[in-house]
């Protein structure tokens, strides 16, 4: 029988090794550690075979958000269901969301039998750089593009982000301090962070990212990412989003990357139409189930 224990201070190295084994089999998760919140450890004879992380602060809509994993060699034994029941009990009636990466049939079945409904789809789109047609970006009159300057542009970028993503459960809550913290990470590259200005005011941005090669993920090759594109609502409708996206895509192409990915909400029809015209096709889907 699975022995499950909640903790706020887990053995991070044990969890890292566990998640690396999961990633080797599934290509996910990208991160091998979850900060803060609560950690649910499921062990058999002392071995960590199942794990869940619960973000107790939750998203900007008041939902606690969880992710759970079962070791590849220990699946189809009911361990996932044990974790789900423990998460529901811990949530104590508060709104709970659980991610299912890849929308695996087993996750669909488990969600349905445990009273969860499909609440959100996050699509992963993919483009092959060699076959994509990405022309020079064209901006409207009086609008210029430049790259992000650390120590100068954090507040302006965050103001645009808050207005552009006031509807989004995670992105809209981004703070300037979080941007500054990201600037210290190895992947951060100001040269791939584009800002649009009009009359000296930032009105849009495109933040790109480069993923190192991960076995089982995107063919085991590095991938560029359209990380975030944000346009101030007052500047929307004039093609600025497309221009910023093209600036970032061409930058990633010039870095020698063979593929680019992006994440987009499944119900964002305007964005999906733009990305489709730029050569992106559906690659995967992550689903958030709600209870």
Which residue positions form the known binding site? 68-70, 170, 209, 225, 229-231, 236-242, 263
* Dist CA 230 CA 208 (whole Å): 12
245 and 226 Cβ atoms separated by less than 8 Å: yes
101 and 75 Cβ atoms separated by less than 8 Å: no
Taking each helix axis from N to C end, the angle separating 269-277 and 240-254, rounded to the nearest 10 degrees, works out to 50
* Dist CA 2 CA 42 (whole Å): 6
* Dist CA 92 CA 158 (whole Å): 34
259 and 221 Cβ atoms separated by less than 8 Å: yes
Q: Which residues are annotated as a binding site for acetyl-CoA?
A: 68-70, 229-231, 236-242
* Dist CA 264 CA 253 (whole Å): 20
Strand order in the sheet with 117-128: 3-7, 38-44, 47-55, 64-70, 96-101, 281-290, 117-128, 259-265, 223-231, 201-211, 193-198, 143-147
**Residues in the chain, total:** 291
């Amino acid at each position: 029988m699975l022995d499950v224990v909640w903790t706020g201070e887990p053995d991070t190295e044990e969890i890292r090794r566990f998640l690396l084994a999961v990633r080797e089999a599934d290509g996910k998760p990208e991160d091998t550690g979850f900060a803060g919140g609560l950690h649910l450890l499921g062990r058999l004879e002392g071995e960590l075979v199942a794990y869940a992380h619960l973000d107790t602060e939750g998203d900007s809509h008041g939902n606690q958000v969880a992710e759970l994993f079962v070791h590849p060699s220990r699946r189809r034994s009911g361990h996932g269901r044990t974790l789900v029941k423990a998460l529901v009990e811990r949530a104590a009636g508060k709104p709970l969301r659980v991610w299912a990466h890849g929308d695996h049939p087993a996750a669909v079945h488990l969600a349905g039998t445990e009273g969860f409904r499909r609440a959100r789809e996050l699509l992963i789109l993919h483009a092959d750089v060699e076959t994509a047609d990405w022309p020079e970006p064209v901006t409207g009159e009086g609008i210029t593009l430049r790259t992000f300057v650390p120590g100068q542009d954090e507040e302006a970028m965050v103001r645009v982000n808050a207005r552009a993503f006031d509807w989004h459960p995670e992105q809209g809550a981004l703070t300037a301090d979080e941007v500054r913290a990201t600037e210290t990470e190895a992947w951060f590259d100001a040269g791939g962070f584009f800002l649009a200005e009009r009359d000296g005011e930032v009105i849009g941005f495109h933040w790109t990212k480069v993923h190192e090669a991960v076995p089982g993920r995107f063919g085991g090759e590095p991938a560029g990412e359209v990380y975030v594109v944000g346009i101030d609502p007052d500047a929307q409708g004039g093609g600025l989003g497309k221009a910023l996206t093209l600036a970032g895509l061409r930058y990633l192409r010039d870095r020698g990357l063979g593929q680019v990915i992006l994440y987009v909400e499944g119900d964002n029809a305007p964005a999906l139409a733009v990305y489709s015209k730029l050569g992106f096709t559906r690659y995967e889907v992550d689903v958030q189930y709600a209870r």
